[in-house]
Amino acid sequence: MRALKEKGFSADKIVENGNKFLIGNGYLGYRGTLDEFTAKECVGLNIAGLYDGVKGKWRETVNAFNPFFCVISLCGVPLDVRRKETFSHEAELDLERGVFRRETKFLVGKAHITLFSERFVSAAEPDLLCSRIRLTSDMDATFSVKAGIDPEIWDLNGPHFSHVESACHGGRAEVKGETQELHIPVRVVCDFSEPLQNFQGGLGEFSVRLKAGETFTLDRVARVLVGKKHFSGRDYEGAYEAHVREWERLFLLARLDAKGDDRAQFALDYSIYHLLILAPKGRYSIAARGLSGQTYKGAVFWDTEIFLLPFYMEVLPACAKRLIEYRIDTLPAAREKAKSYGYGGAFYAWESQNGFDACSDFNVTDVFTHRPVRTYFKDKQIHISADVAYAILRYFERTKDDDLMLEGGLETILSCAEFARTYSYYNHIKGRYELLDVIGPDEYHERVNNNAYTNYMFYFTAKEGLALAEEFAKKYPARFKEVLCHLPEGILQNLKEWTEKLYLLKPNAEGVIEQFDGYFRLEDVRVEEVRSRLRHPNEYWGGSGGVATATRVIKQADLITLFNLYPDRFSEEVRRANYDFYLPYTEHGSSLSRCSYAIAACGIGRREEAYTALLESAEIDLRGGGKQWAGEIYIGGTHPAASGGAWIAATRGLGFERKGDLK
């Protein structure tokens, strides 16, 4: 059995383990917390694609009521892992079955008590999650059990429910409410294998008499029902078998063979586990922190298109199509955003909540003044539209899905290019178009001119889009005319002329491309020097006054990511020169960075460096890595893009092959 195990308990690791032992099914994510924990311990049951905004606070995904709360007591002493009566504890995440388990042994008086529980979020039924508790004592004892659906929710920017009500009929409990913003009803209904008594506020109780050596079992089968969906009962055993059967199929399908390397094998198994629990079940996408909570507002970033899509295209093509359809569906919102800034085409949301840009003007709080810091991610990270176009192009390259292209895909690609054209400035002196006042993937340097990644990405995607337009005009003339009806008149000719004059930064004598205009003139110091200038460990490095702003130190792979996406457009000598130049300046302040360098190292024959960087990415959530704070803003959670990037490096550069075959 491939399983993540951890012995012992540390209160300092509650939040970290909530991420590390996360379970999910692409629609629901349940944090790796324990039965006796509450909102104070960051218990979270996250729902994909459901957002709510409370006045004056950030809009974010919704966490549902917790159906698995349970505290068992003996003689008034709760069986709680945080109490001194705990003498052993082990948590386990079964990667091959998608099941979380815990076993804790307590000493209460002279009684040795074992509490075991397991739970899973069903891979077979999107709204279903189940838990089983087993209780054993070596002495006769009567236990008090308090269980039910905890209505207290861990929110970063809540509360998100109004009109919360609870009810219980025997062994079936229900807590319901409606979201504050759109008044969407959400019900959590749970069947308990024992009737609950004295039910109030979502919780009830009952007593259990055990003789020495006997085992008591409590099953909980719950559904999270959004909208007008109805509850349908399920027995635990049947639900478990259906879940395990489907999960084992998926895990076998996705696994890679690390060729006898146990460390790499486990790291990749764990990464694949996280990619599988995020596979979308509907036409929604994957948030930057997956289903581990409300960090980054549960929004979808460029991570999905650049770092996650390749896995799903290879392993779960139907999920890949959903990710592409999400961007096509949100094209109207992207057009509206472009229009609001005075541009044409499609300017995609930097932090997308079903197309709405949730990105704030103030994304960081200064740790010294405690004042919000103005950031320009929403306004200036225009490369998001090129990233969306790139993803659609790569999806079509693999699938040859003409219908998807004619039913929104090609229109989206050309609209993204049209946005960049209207955003650009024509420099009459130099006779070229430039993309001024932007932010590249390196977010420490804001509002720069001609970021190389941004310019090249729009150039390549526009050229590919125009070539496809020409192909479809010949292949499907009538349907192609319908596509053009949704685009500005003359768009094809305008884009053709624009690409011919778009400024592309070229390699210097050493083969290095300047990351943006003026980058080479910045202070030439390395990462450790800049780190030594910090006066607070959570200080933000970028923005207008960050310690890295006036230096060459960058947050994450920038140009290197471009080379990974278009390796054939740049010689190996140029890719090697830029890898060697930018790596010492890269702080890796994003989980996207190490895997980008791993992929790049593969492309220039640096296998040992690629292997090391791959492990750093694949193990980021195993070791509790990644930044937890940006200023005073919590940014913790799982790191799906690091998992996806590790998979790309493993399969495209290090030669790890799939164990399963596509069904």
pLDDT in tens, 266-279: 999 999 999 999 99
Return the H-helix or E-strand segment holding 249.
helix 236-254
Rg (CA), the chain: 26
pLDDT in tens, 522-567: 999 999 999 999 999 889 999 888 999 999 999 999 999 999 999 9
The C-alpha atoms of residue 472 and residue 464 are separated, in whole angstroms, by: 12
Is residue 433 a contact partner of residue 502, using CB atoms and an 8 Å limit?
A: yes
pTM over 0.85: yes
Give the model's confidence band at 629: pLDDT under 50 very low, under 70 low, under 90 confident, else very high: low
pLDDT in tens, 1-35: 799 999 999 999 999 999 999 999 999 999 999 99
Of 21, 217, 62, 71, which Cα lies nearest the Cα of 135?
A: 217
Return the H-helix or E-strand segment holding 269.
helix 262-276
Identify any residues that bridge with 141 across adjacent strands, giving them in sequence order. Answer: 210
pLDDT at 633 over 80: no
With 0-12 CB in 10 A as exposed, 13-18 as middle and 19+ as buried, what is 502?
A: buried
The C-alpha atoms of residue 596 and residue 610 are separated, in whole angstroms, by: 9
**Mean pLDDT, range 471-495, rounded to an integer:** 97
The C-alpha atoms of residue 466 and residue 472 are separated, in whole angstroms, by: 10
pLDDT in tens, 160-169: 999 999 999 9
The C-alpha atoms of residue 75 and residue 108 are separated, in whole angstroms, by: 8
Amino acid in position 397: E
The C-alpha atoms of residue 422 and residue 342 are separated, in whole angstroms, by: 9
pLDDT in tens, 340-383: 999 999 999 999 999 999 999 998 888 899 998 999 999 999 99
Give the model's confidence band at 632: pLDDT under 50 very low, under 70 low, under 90 confident, else very high: low
**Mean pLDDT, range 504-515, rounded to an integer:** 98
Q: Which two tokens stand for residue 576?
A: 């090697």
Rounded to the nearest integer, the mean pLDDT of the chain is 95
Worst-scoring range by mean pLDDT, 83-97, 435-449, 570-584?
A: 83-97
pLDDT at residue 363, rounded to an integer: 85
Provide the phi-psi class of 556: left if phi over 0, else alpha when psi is between -120 and 50, else beta.
beta
pLDDT at residue 437, rounded to an integer: 98
Active site members = 443
Beta strands 352-353 and 356-357: pairing type?
Answer: antiparallel
pLDDT at 159 over 80: yes
Identify any residues that bridge with 78 across adjacent strands, giving them in sequence order. Answer: 73
Q: What domains, with CATH codes, occur in the chain?
A: 3-251 (2.70.98.40), 255-658 (1.50.10.10)
Of 216, 10, 209, 240, which Cα lies nearest the Cα of 114?
A: 216
- Share above pLDDT 70 across residues of the chain, in percent, rounded to a whole number: 98
The DSSP-derived string for 288-318 is: TTTTS-SGGGG-B-THIIIIIHHHHHHH-HH
Beta strands 197-200 and 99-108: pairing type?
Answer: unpaired
The DSSP-derived string for 325-377 is: HHHHHTHHHHHHHHHHTT--S----SSEETTEE---S--EE-TTT--EE---H
The C-alpha atoms of residue 3 and residue 94 are separated, in whole angstroms, by: 4
pLDDT at residue 634, rounded to an integer: 73
pLDDT at 625 over 90: no
**Triad 128, 134, 139: Cα angle to 5°:** 165
pLDDT at 626 over 90: no
The C-alpha atoms of residue 346 and residue 355 are separated, in whole angstroms, by: 11
The C-alpha atoms of residue 258 and residue 611 are separated, in whole angstroms, by: 11
DSSP code at position 63:
E
Give the model's confidence band at 663: pLDDT under 50 very low, under 70 low, under 90 confident, else very high: very low
Q: Which two tokens stand for residue 50?
A: 């459901």
**Mean pLDDT, range 66-71, rounded to an integer:** 98
pLDDT at residue 87, rounded to an integer: 81
CB-based burial, 537-548: b 16+ in 10 Å, e otherwise: eebbbbbeebbb
With 0-12 CB in 10 A as exposed, 13-18 as middle and 19+ as buried, what is 467?
A: exposed
pLDDT in tens, 381-400: 999 999 999 999 999 999 99
Is residue 137 a contact partner of residue 208, using CB atoms and an 8 Å limit?
A: no
How far, in whole angstroms, is CA 151 from its chain's centroid?
Answer: 26
Give the model's confidence band at 619: pLDDT under 50 very low, under 70 low, under 90 confident, else very high: very high
Q: Residue 185, preceding bond cis, omega within 30 degrees?
A: no
pLDDT at residue 624, rounded to an integer: 79
CB-based burial, 37-70: b 16+ in 10 Å, e otherwise: bebebbbbbbbbbbbbbbeeebbbbbbbbbbbbb
The C-alpha atoms of residue 270 and residue 264 are separated, in whole angstroms, by: 10
The C-alpha atoms of residue 271 and residue 264 are separated, in whole angstroms, by: 10
Of 594, 624, 19, which Cα lies nearest the Cα of 290?
A: 19
